[in-house]
């Protein structure tokens, strides 16, 4: 025994040393904020309101899966925020959080009412899912330090279908994804359920999102195989207690590629039968399946036009397959355009879908991008909004920053969303905003929806850029209530996610509210659009003149020459402006057009006078330079809140702002130097001349196009 004692002692010491190292490592890592918890952090409050201190329990009317989730979320949150552990029970013996089904409550079937009754905090709703949303809303009130003594909040969602669209592929990649690979571990499903799926569902439920399209709109037919439908069903099981339905993007030609049929013609009886049987198979596995999203006859994807059929014909085939399942819908995307060197891509979706108004089945919604081109940093609202009174339209926003610098650029997108939602279509006179079109109040749509192309991925912090989380949050909040302001949503997110220090909140809120306009200035000021790098859509490439299609080039859009710049969409040229109501046409006429939309609708001389008192060329230069200066201000503002921000998170954002400043300079130099070759005018006095030549900038751009 004496022989082994020193050896055993050394082993024990080694194990204790390793354990101590692990404990120290764990304690250090738990102090750091890696962004995983999003806005559901539930860290201890510095000051707990008396009504919270007195709570003893959580009263729930049942232990159904949804109410179990709601009660456990409240229990976890109150424990983290106050240190108190509340018992979950059926009856109240003392002050409690009470979840109460109340059919007479003045809300819709997903809405809720929050109130205080004596020493209780009461969440009431018509349905269990309403109580779930109300539970998260109560926690938001607590986390953002709202006074609870006079709690009285009533809220219902403005639209029915509030969806994330994931452009995820079965090989693990994400199209236009900048936060890692897919969230869904397809090769592990259905046997291995990643805990992250539940946290994803929690985050979505907390902001009112009730649906998720799991796969890319450039769909693979493999998602309709029995193998993959079982995987989808496993995800649906995780999401169901959080009020979230799953949807699938479908490959239109699946009857041929997967079913072995000779055709995918939507009028062919065998094709219709195939889709009906496939739909029945899906609902057998997923009884609450949400329905189909379709990209057809767009950018090379197959569709009904391959068989000389219309989009309405294609949608009807799927809607008929869904008829036995009343909750199922078809969302048919309007993003279609032909490669016409003499045309205007701005008009394509309108010209294809406007004639089909009233020809879609009742369970079909047409999904329309916020603008007529493609998720640009600034776009006018799509002319289809207000132009299809007999067809429900779903708004499609993009959260992933395909054209906004990817996940290295700070761009708070709530102002972009609001700019579109608050735009007046004048479809039925003044006040017919885009928001009121999509919520059904203008045209009486029975089905309504809003979709956001997700910016999530496998990165630990979900969105790559930590502050990209705010765009996910803002989308959910606006899909629930589009009347919320950008600044209110920003303040909520900051207090939930970063800090409750008032001075820091004000500084970060200012950063966020100016970030998108700063980005527009150094990328596409005054209505320029689609002048980014080829294929990747990364970096500046205003000189791009050759591509597989003319409407994938930059010169197609900016039309710059020695006389001037901008795309003439007036009556004298493409006539795209004429797609809008007369009142909208007037506000974007040359005489009245705000500078932000000038080059969207008009080709104007370099000497065109601007409201600032400058000529167009000088104004363009000043905007590019202001964009760079704006990023420098963001850097200084972020540095000023260092003491109030978690060190890991602070360092992450600081590094990304450094990248953003470097790339803003890149954009400025590339665009100013290129457009100068056409304007033949000097860079205005007072603006520092670029230190590199146009050729040097072009070489830098070329590096990013190498495959």
CATH number of the domain to which 186 belongs: 3.20.20.80
Same domain, residue pair 210 and 84: no
In a domain, 598, yes or no: no
My answer on whether 541 and 402 are in the same domain is no
d(CA 99, CA 134): 9
> What is the arithmetic mean of pLDDT over 552-579?
98
Would you say residue 576 lies in a domain? Answer: no
pLDDT digits (tens, 9 = 90+) for 102-118: 988 789 999 999 999 99
Q: Comparing 267 with 702, which gets the higher pLDDT? A: 267
How many domains does the chain contain in total?
A: 3
Residues 414 and 526 occupy one common structural domain: no
Q: Single out the residue in 103, 121, 155 at which a domain terminates.
A: 155
Q: What is the mean pLDDT of the chain?
A: 94
Residue 638 lies in a domain: yes
Please tell me whether residues 139 and 68 are part of one structural domain: yes
Tell whether 36 is covered by a domain: no
Whether 42 is in a domain gets the answer: no
Please report how the helices 486-497 and 502-523 are oriented relative to each other, as an axis angle in degrees rounded to 10.
120
Task: Over range 83-97, report the average pLDDT.
Answer: 94
Give the pLDDT confidence score for residue 706 in this predicted structure.
Answer: 52
Pairing relation of β-strands 245-250 and 120-125? Answer: unpaired
Residue 61 in domain: yes
Token pair for 318:
């799927």
Determine contact, residues 152/122, Cβ cutoff 8 Å. Answer: no
Q: Are residues 182 and 284 in the same domain?
A: yes
CATH code of the domain in which 673 resides: 3.90.1330.10
Question: Cα-Cα-Cα-Cα dihedral of 636, 638, 642, 647, to 10°?
Answer: -130
Q: Are residues 450 and 554 in the same domain?
A: no
Is residue 647 within 8 A of residue 499, CB to CB? The reply is no
- Do 125 and 234 reside in the same domain of the chain? no
The string of pLDDT tens digits covering residues 672-687 is 999 999 999 999 999 9
**Cis amide bond preceding 190, omega within 30:** yes
Residue 13 has pLDDT above 70, yes or no: no
pLDDT tens digit sequence for 395-446: 999 999 999 999 999 999 999 999 999 999 999 999 999 999 999 999 999 9
pLDDT band at residue 93 under the 50/70/90 scheme? confident
Q: Do 388 and 279 share a structural domain?
A: yes
- Burial (CB < 10 A; 0-12, 13-18, 19+), residue 685, is exposed
440 and 546 together in one domain: no
What are the structure tokens assigned to 491, written together? 């303040």
Instruction: Give the end of a domain, one of 124, 140, 155.
Output: 155
SS (H, E, C) 257-304: HCCCCCCCCCCCHHHHHHHHHHHHHHHHHCCCCCEEEECCCCCCCCCH
C-alpha–C-alpha distance, residues 622 and 133, integer Å: 46
C-alpha span between 344 and 515 (Å, rounded): 30
pLDDT of residue 9: 39
Q: Which residues are catalytic?
A: 299, 374, 402
pLDDT at 8 over 60: no
Q: Are residues 406 and 448 in the same domain?
A: yes
pLDDT of 28 above 90: no
CB 157 within 8 A of CB 110: yes
Q: Three-state DSSP class for 599? A: helix
The CATH number covering residue 135 comes to 3.30.379.10
Q: Tokens 């998260």 map to which residue?
A: 136
pLDDT tens digits for 661-671?
999 999 999 99
Q: What pLDDT is attached to residue 705? A: 58
User: For residue 546, is it within any domain?
Assistant: yes
Q: 201 and 145, same structural domain?
A: no
Residue ending a domain, among 445, 462, 497, is: 497
pLDDT at 304: 98
User: How far, in Å, CA of 650 to CA of 144, rounded?
Assistant: 21
For the cut 60, the answer to whether the pLDDT of residue 562 exceeds it is yes
Q: Are residues 272 and 180 in the same domain?
A: yes
Residue 508 lies inside a defined structural domain of this protein? no
Q: In terms of residue numbers, what domain contains 691?
A: 520-567+603-704
């Amino acid at each position: 025994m004496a022989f082994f004692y020193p050896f055993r002692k050394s082993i024990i010491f080694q194990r204790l040393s390793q354990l101590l190292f692990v404990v120290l490592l764990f304690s250090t890592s738990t102090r750091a904020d890696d962004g995983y918890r999003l806005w559901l952090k539930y860290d201890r409050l510095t000051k707990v309101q008396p009504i919270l201190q007195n709570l003893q329990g959580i009263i729930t009317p049942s232990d159904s899966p949804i109410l179990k989730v709601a009660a456990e979320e409240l229990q976890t949150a109150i424990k983290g925020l106050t240190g108190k552990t509340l018992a979950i029970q059926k009856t109240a013996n003392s002050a409690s959080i009470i979840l109460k089904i109340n059919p007479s409550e003045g809300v819709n079937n997903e809405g809720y009412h929050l109130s205080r009754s004596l020493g209780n905090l009461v969440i009431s709703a018509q349905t269990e899912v309403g109580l779930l949303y109300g539970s998260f809303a109560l926690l938001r009130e607590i986390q953002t330090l709202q006074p609870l003594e006079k709690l009285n909040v009533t809220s219902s969602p403005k639209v029915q279908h509030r969806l994330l669209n994931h452009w995820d592929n079965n090989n693990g990649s994400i199209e236009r994804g900048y936060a890692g690979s897919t969230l869904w571990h397809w090769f592990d499903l259905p046997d291995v359920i990643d805990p992250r799926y539940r946290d994803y569902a929690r985050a979505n439920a907390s902001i009112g999102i009730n649906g998720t399209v799991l796969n890319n709109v450039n769909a693979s037919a493999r998602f309709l195989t029995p193998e993959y439908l079982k995987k989808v069903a496993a995800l649906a099981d995780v999401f169901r207690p959080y009020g979230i339905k799953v949807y699938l993007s479908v490959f239109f030609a699946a009857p041929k590629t997967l079913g072995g049929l000779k055709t995918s013609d939507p009028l062919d009886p065998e094709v219709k039968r195939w889709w009906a049987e496939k739909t029945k198979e899906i609902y057998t596995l997923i009884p609450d399946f949400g329905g189909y999203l379709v990209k057809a006859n767009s950018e090379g994807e197959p569709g009904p036009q391959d068989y000389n059929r219309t989009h309405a014909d294609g949608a009807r085939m799927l809607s008929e397959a869904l008829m036995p399942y009343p909750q199922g819908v078809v969302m048919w995307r309007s993003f279609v355009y032909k490669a016409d060197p003499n045309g205007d891509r701005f008009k394509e979706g309108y010209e294809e879908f406007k004639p089909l108004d009233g020809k879609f089945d009742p369970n079909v919604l047409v999904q329309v991008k916020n603008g007529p081109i493609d998720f640009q940093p600034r776009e006018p609202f799509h002319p289809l909004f207000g132009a299809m009174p007999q067809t429900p339209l779903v708004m499609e926003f993009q959260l992933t920053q395909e054209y906004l610098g990817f996940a290295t650029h700070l761009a708070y997108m709530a102002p972009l969303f609001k700019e579109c939602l608050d735009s007046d279509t004048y479809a039925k006179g003044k006040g017919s905003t885009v928001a009121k079109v999509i919520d059904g109040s203008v045209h009486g749509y029975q089905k309504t929806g809003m979709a956001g192309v997700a910016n999530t991925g496998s990165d630990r912090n979900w969105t790559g850029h930590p502050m990209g989380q705010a765009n996910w949050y803002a989308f959910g909040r606006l899909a629930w209530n589009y009347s919320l302001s950008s600044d209110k949503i920003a303040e909520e997110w900051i207090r939930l996610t970063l800090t409750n220090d008032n001075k820091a909140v004000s500084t970060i809120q200012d950063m966020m509210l100016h970030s998108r306009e700063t980005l527009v200035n150094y990328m596409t000021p005054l209505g320029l659009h689609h002048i980014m790098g080829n294929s990747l859509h990364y970096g500046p490439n205003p000189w791009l003149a050759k591509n597989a299609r003319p409407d994938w080039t930059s010169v197609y859009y900016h039309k710059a020459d020695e006389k001037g710049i901008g795309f003439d969409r007036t009556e004298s040229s493409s006539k795209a402006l004429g797609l809008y109501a007369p009142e909208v046409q007037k506000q974007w006429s040359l005489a009245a057009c705000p500078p932000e939309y000038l080059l969207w609708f008009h080709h104007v001389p370099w000497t065109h006078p601007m409201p600032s008192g400058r000529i167009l060329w000088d104004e363009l230069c000043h905007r590019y330079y202001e964009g760079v200066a704006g990023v420098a201000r963001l850097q200084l503002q972020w540095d000023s809140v260092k003491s109030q921000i978690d060190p890991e998170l602070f360092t992450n954002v600081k590094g990304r702002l450094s990248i953003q400043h470097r790339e803003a300079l890149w954009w400025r130099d590339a665009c100013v130097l290129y457009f100068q070759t056409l304007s033949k005018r000097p860079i205005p006095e007072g603006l520092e001349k670029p230190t590199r030549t146009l050729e040097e900038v072009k070489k830098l751009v070329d590096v990013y196009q190498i495959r």
